[in-house]
Amino acid sequence: MSGSSPAARLQQLFEGRRLTPTQRRIAHSMVRRAGDAPFLSSVELAELAGVSQPSVTRFAVALGFDGYPALRRHLREVSPAGSSAEAGEDTYNEYQQAVLGEIENLRHLAELLADPGPVERAGRLLAGSRPLPVLGLRAASSQARGFGYFAAKVHPDVRVLDEGGSMLHDRIDAARRAGATALICFALPRHPREVVDALAYAREQGLTVVSVADSAFAPVAAHSDLLIPAAVGTGLAFDTACAPMLLGRVLLESMCDALPDAQARLEEFDAGAVARGLFIE
Q: What is the DSSP string of 140-177?
A: GHHHHHHHHHHHTTTSS-EEEE---STHHHHHHHHHHH
What average pLDDT does range 140-146 have in this prediction? 97
CA angle 201, 246, 125 (to 5 degrees): 40
Q: Name the DSSP letter for residue 233.
A: B
Amino acid symbol at 223: H
Q: Is the Cα torsion angle 88, 37, 10, 199 positive or negative in sign?
A: negative
For the segment 204-245, what is each residue's pLDDT rounded down to a tens digit? 999 999 999 998 889 999 999 999 999 998 777 788 999 999
pLDDT at 82 > cutoff 50? no
State the average pLDDT for the chain: 89
For the segment 156-181, what is each residue's pLDDT rounded down to a tens digit? 999 999 999 989 999 999 999 999 99
